[in-house]
């Protein structure tokens, strides 16, 4: 039995996230269906990251086990011919038997795009959060750096409170400004549900002057704090861009 690794790009607008749901279209579910169509085998696709509904990916990684001996180029071509045009397999390779896309990932990297101009092109609305405001960029950029390090992110992922370990280590957290486009990038050893979007939401509140750098520090020091949690940023600006092993 071969262990096969996929690198996947997808435009997440039309999907209810990565993880399989019996009555809703998901990335995992659709790829598994196409593998079944081509090989006759019902497989379990293991994704490195579970992206939410409406979130995109340019570097998702997954693996699955296959009994049959179909040549990889044939399988790769077949998948891309059957998959909808908003999902593509960019790489397919056989890996060692012990490889696990999720558990062996050393880091994951996301980016979030915010457009602050008054008029957003209709060609970009699916890929950015349109926020036509004058933000306090210096304060936002300084606050972003506070997330670097090991922290308990329970306040930024309330669904995990009391259920799982919420400590994660962030390796980098910063903004890039390209005229009216703000691109936030964060790399960590793991992410909790809505964690990145809640971080972005908090940084936006800093940019609006509703939260301060000190508020962010307090949020990271006190995992029981909830009254400083900002609105969750919408999904369309978020991309899973890289998994490192």
Q: Would you state the pLDDT for residue 40?
A: 98
Q: Is 52 a catalytic residue?
A: yes
pTM of the model: 0.95
pLDDT tens series, the chain, 245 aa: 999 999 999 999 999 999 999 999 999 999 999 999 999 999 999 999 999 999 999 999 999 999 999 999 999 999 999 999 999 999 999 999 999 999 999 999 999 999 999 999 999 999 999 999 999 999 999 999 999 999 999 999 877 776 678 999 999 999 999 999 999 999 999 999 999 999 999 999 999 999 999 999 999 998 887 767 799 999 999 999 999 99
Q: Would you state the pLDDT for residue 154?
A: 92
What are the distances in angstroms from CA 206 to CA 149, 150, 152, 161?
20, 21, 20, 24
Question: Which is catalytic among the residues 33, 52, 86, 97?
Answer: 52
Domain with CATH 3.30.70.580 in the chain: 2-95
For 99-147, what is each residue's pLDDT tens digit? 999 999 999 999 999 999 999 999 999 999 999 999 999 999 999 999 9
CATH class of 2-95: alpha beta
| Measured distance CA(197)–CA(55) in Å, rounded | 10
Q: Would you state the pLDDT for residue 31?
A: 98
Domain with CATH 3.30.70.660 in the chain: 107-244
Q: Would you state the pLDDT for residue 225?
A: 79
- The structural architecture, per CATH, of the domain 107-244 is 2-Layer Sandwich (3.30)
């Amino acid at each position: 039995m071969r262990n096969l690794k996929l690198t996947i790009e997808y435009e997440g607008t039309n999907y209810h996230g990565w993880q399989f749901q019996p009555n809703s279209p998901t990335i995992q579910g659709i790829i598994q269906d196409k593998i079944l169509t081509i090989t006759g085998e019902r497989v379990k696709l293991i994704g490195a990251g579970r992206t939410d509904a409406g979130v995109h990916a340019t570097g998702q990684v997954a693996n699955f086990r296959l009994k049959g001996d179909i040549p990889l180029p044939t399988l790769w071509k077949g998948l891309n011919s059957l998959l909808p045009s908003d999902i593509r397999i960019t790489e397919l390779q056989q890996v060692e038997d012990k490889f696990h896309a999720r558990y062996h990932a050393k880091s994951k990297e996301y980016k979030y795009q915010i457009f602050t101009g008054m008029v957003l092109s209709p060609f970009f609305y699916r890929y950015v959060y349109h926020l036509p405001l004058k933000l306090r960029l210096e304060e936002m950029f300084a606050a972003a750096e506070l997330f670097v390090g090991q922290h308990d992110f329970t306040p930024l992922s309330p669904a995990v409170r009391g259920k799982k370990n919420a400590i994660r280590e962030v390796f980098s957290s910063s903004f890039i400004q390209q005229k009216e486009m703000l691109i936030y990038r964060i790399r960590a050893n793991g992410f909790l549900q809505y964690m990145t979007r809640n971080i972005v939401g908090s940084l936006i509140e800093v940019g609006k002057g509703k939260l301060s750098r000190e508020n962010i520090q307090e949020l990271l020091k006190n995992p029981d704090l909830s009254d400083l949690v900002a609105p969750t940023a919408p999904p369309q600006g978020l991309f899973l861009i890289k998994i490192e092993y």
